[in-house]
Amino acid sequence: MQFSVSVLLQSVHNPPLALSEQRWLEVIFCVTAEDDETAKQIAGKYAARYESEYQSMSGDQVRWSVCGFGGTHALEIEIAEGTELFSRFLRAEEGTSLLTPFED
């Protein structure tokens, strides 16, 4: 079965940035798996390609790292394994909001 899996990455700066200046990245991958949990594990491996560390032009050390998963949804159409379906940069508030589950 194929799933779309949203993976969230966070940029961590040294020295730390103010919350309003922090950036996140959401990437949605297509994966083939038996269930939701396996789909997340596979998508996490694809997202690890986005993890990196570098020095910014201002001299800060910047590290992008996987910090969690958004939604996982079964797909009803066939898409090539590992395809990046969507990506976008987020403000810190948006990133943390996507990691926070709704209360029942």
Which residue segment(s) compose the domain that 11 sits in? 2-98
pLDDT for residue 5: 96
pLDDT for residue 104: 63
pLDDT for residue 22: 86
For residue 49, tell me if it sits in a domain: yes
For residue 75, tell me if it sits in a domain: yes
What is the dihedral sign for C-alpha 20, 88, 43, 51? Answer: negative
For residue 104, tell me if it sits in a domain: no
Separation CA 31–CA 7 (nearest Å)? 12
Q: What is the pLDDT of residues 21-35, one digit of tens each?
A: 889 999 999 999 999
For residue 83, tell me if it sits in a domain: yes
For residue 53, tell me if it sits in a domain: yes
Name the domain count of the chain.
1
For residue 68, tell me if it sits in a domain: yes
Please identify every stretch of the chain with a pLDDT value under 70, giving residue numbers as ranges: 102, 104
For residue 18, tell me if it sits in a domain: yes
DSSP letter, residue 47: H
For residue 63, tell me if it sits in a domain: yes
